[in-house]
């Protein structure tokens, strides 16, 4: 009997949101995504210590930031030996508001991958969906370096990414859900806000409907899930990146799964076309308290874990 993970694969590309190699072998995703928090967690696991030690020993004269990039690529290479598709590797979140530095860091990551025999087509460079990050992606895409825009919480961010012709966006679901649930407090009704009524699901659906209505080729990958109900409600999205725990729940669920998102349905409910430029981006993002707060919070969290990763590498180097 088919389980929901198998059924989901029929109309959505399944992506693993983890740095856990064994989980990838078990659930057989097409692609995989990483971020500073996931790499920090994976690098601290004893079974992955060899990767950290090898990076430090092989690049004794490298700077701290170069060692981080070497470690990210080491994990990426290991992941690509397991999965058939692409890995997403994130530029240091401390560069989220520096377009030129983000471009240079992305080029360095791609060069490291290519030097180790990995084609650039198998790598997506992750950048925060700030105005500066999106402009960096515009330049990188023109050079043939494919980008995955993360920390995306609203349609104005998605519109700017489409204009920049990025390869893929990762609109968040769970963090949007978290914000609305926290803001509602005791008034939050979990049942009334589940499935298609989930505010995170609604945000991704709006983006999906817009992209498909106007035939925007940028791929949409729903991310940051809190429960399988959110995944079920977005069945049919181009890609969904899912944690090992939720992959396990889907694989153990043998009830049916109905596709919820289709290009045809999106065009039947065609949203109005919207202009996008820097002024509208900044104005509309500022007007959206949820998106503004979650973008800032996400960058701060990734910066904090980036600093911890630096300390972990320095500790390994000092031994």
Q: pLDDT at position 319, please?
A: 60
Distance CA 154, CA 129 (A): 10
User: Are 183 and 318 within 8 A, CB to CB?
Assistant: no
How long a stretch of residues is the chain?
Answer: 319
Distance CA 43, CA 90 (A): 15
- Give residue-wise pLDDT tens across range 116-138: 999 999 999 999 999 999 999 99
The CA distances from residue 175 to 65, 68, 96, 224, 251, in Å, are 29, 27, 19, 7, 24
Q: Supply φ then ψ for residue 199, to 5 degrees.
A: -60, -30
- Give residue-wise pLDDT tens across range 273-290: 999 999 999 999 999 999
pTM beyond 0.85 = yes
Lowest-pLDDT range, 14-23, 35-44, 253-262, 298-307? 35-44
Q: Supply φ then ψ for residue 119, to 5 degrees.
A: -70, 145
Distance CA 222, CA 172 (A): 6
Under the banding of pLDDT at 50, 70 and 90, the label for residue 60 is confident
Distance CA 35, CA 241 (A): 12
Quickly list H helices, the chain.
4-8, 21-27, 36-43, 49-58, 64-80, 99-115, 131-142, 155-163, 174-184, 199-213, 228-233, 244-251, 263-268, 278-287, 289-318
- Known catalytic membership, residue 212: no
Catalytic: which of 41, 126, 182, 212? 126
Measured at the CA of 121, the angle between CA 117 and CA 125, to 5 degrees, comes to 100
User: Are 172 and 200 within 8 A, CB to CB?
Assistant: yes
The CA distances from residue 184 to 110, 132, 188, 198, 306, in Å, are 43, 32, 5, 13, 32
Token duo for residue 62: 């490298």
Q: pLDDT at position 268, please?
A: 92
Under the banding of pLDDT at 50, 70 and 90, the label for residue 255 is very high
Rg of the chain (C-alpha set): 19
pLDDT greater than 80 at residue 1: no
Beta bridge partners of 13: 239
The structural domains of the chain, with segments of one domain joined by +, span 4-318
Beta bridge partners of 242: 16
Of the candidate CATH numbers 3.30.360.10, 3.20.20.70, 3.40.50.10800, 3.30.565.10, the domain formed by 4-318 belongs to 3.20.20.70
Token duo for residue 283: 């104005």
Mean residue pLDDT of the chain comes to 96
User: Are 219 and 238 within 8 A, CB to CB?
Assistant: yes
The alpha carbon of residue 273 and the mean position of all alpha carbons in its chain are separated, in whole angstroms, by 26
- Give residue-wise pLDDT tens across range 181-208: 999 999 999 999 999 999 999 999 999 9
Q: Supply φ then ψ for residue 114, to 5 degrees.
A: -65, -35
Q: Supply φ then ψ for residue 34, to 5 degrees.
A: -130, 165
């Amino acid at each position: 009997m088919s389980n929901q993970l198998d059924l989901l694969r029929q109309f959505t590309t399944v992506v693993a949101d983890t740095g856990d190699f064994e989980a990838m072998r078990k659930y057989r995703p097409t692609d995989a995504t990483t971020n500073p928090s996931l790499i920090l967690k994976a690098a601290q696991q004893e079974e992955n210590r060899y990767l950290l030690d090898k990076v430090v020993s092989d690049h004794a004269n490298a700077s701290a930031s170069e060692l981080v990039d070497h470690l990210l690529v080491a994990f990426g290479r290991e992941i690509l030996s397991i999965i058939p598709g692409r890995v997403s590797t994130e530029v240091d979140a401390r560069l989220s508001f520096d377009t030129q530095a983000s471009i240079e860091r992305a080029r360095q990551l791609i060069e490291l991958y290519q030097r180790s025999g990995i084609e650039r087509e198998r790598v997506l460079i992750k950048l925060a969906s700030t105005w500066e990050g999106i402009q960096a992606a515009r330049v990188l895409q023109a050079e043939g370096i494919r980008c995955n825009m993360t920390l995306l919480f609203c349609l104005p961010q998605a519109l700017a990414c489409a204009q920049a012709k990025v390869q893929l966006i990762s609109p968040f679901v769970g963090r949007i859900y978290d914000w609305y649930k926290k803001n509602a407090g005791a008034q939050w009704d979990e049942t009334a806000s589940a499935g298609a009524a989930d505010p995170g699901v609604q945000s991704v659906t709006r983006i999906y409907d817009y992209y498909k209505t106007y035939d925007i080729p940028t791929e949409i990958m729903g991310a940051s899930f809190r429960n399988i109900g959110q995944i079920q409600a977005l069945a049919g999205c181009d890609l969904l990146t899912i944690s090992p725990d939720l992959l396990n729940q889907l694989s153990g669920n043998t009830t049916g799964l109905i596709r919820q998102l289709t290009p045809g349905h999106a065009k039947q409910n065609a949203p109005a076309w919207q202009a996008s430029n820097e002024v509208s981006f900044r104005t509309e993002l500022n007007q959206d308290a949820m998106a503004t707060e979650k973008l800032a919070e996400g960058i701060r969290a990734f910066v904090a874990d980036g600093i911890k990763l630096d300390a972990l590498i320095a500790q390994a180097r000092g031994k």
